[in-house]
Amino acid sequence: MLSDQTLTGYESIATYGTYPEAQRAVDYLSDQRFPVEHAMIVGMDLRMVEKVLGRLTYLRAAGMGAATGAWLGLLIGLFFAIFTPGRFPWTLVLWSLLWGAVAGAIFGLIAHAFTGGKRDYLSSSAIVANRYELRVTTPQAAEARRLLETGIPQHHVAGT
């Protein structure tokens, strides 16, 4: 993990609105034979965004638990089927899948019941940056800035 001390010795040479734009700039520098091991992309003004996907009901909790349990049961059944002598190892796989789904549904219901209605929704969260700075070590900053000024006009080059 990088710390603020890692940014010491680096200059901000350009700012981009999106991460792919910053990646394109590093790719351009690489194409120009710039030593990109002296570059880093830093996300600035971070914020956490949580997208609410829907309500988590007992039925949905049981369904999600059953799906997870079915996968686990399938994997366990396949593992045991490899080492089971006989002509019908697939029945073992199917029974494992079924019992995994049942156990998963039960555990899903229990887990949802323990939340006590405090968080009865599904969500997805991500850390997002408002802007991305391209930083380069101080000795290479002037060369990187010059290359970007002549090559990629769709950004703000710091220091110009």
pLDDT tens digits, the chain, 160 residues: what are they? 555 567 789 999 999 999 999 999 999 999 999 999 999 999 999 999 999 999 999 999 999 999 999 999 999 999 998 888 877 888 899 999 999 999 999 999 999 999 988 888 999 999 999 999 999 999 999 999 999 998 765 555 565 4
Q: Around Cβ 52, how many Cβ atoms within 10 Å?
A: 10
What does the pLDDT read at residue 5?
Answer: 60
4-50+128-157 sits in which CATH class? alpha beta
Do the bridges between strand 39-55 and strand 121-137 make them parallel or antiparallel, or are there none, so unpaired?
Answer: antiparallel
What does the pLDDT read at residue 119?
Answer: 85
3-class DSSP string for the chain = CCCHHHHCCEEEEEEECCHHHHHHHHHHHHHCCCCHHHEEEEEEEEEEEEEEEEECCHHHHHHHHHHHHHHHHHHHHHHHHHCCCCCCHHHHHHHHHHHHHHHHHHHHHHHHHHCCCCCCEEEEEEEEEEEEEEEEEHHHHHHHHHHHHHHCCCCEECCC
Assigned token pair, 52: 């609410």
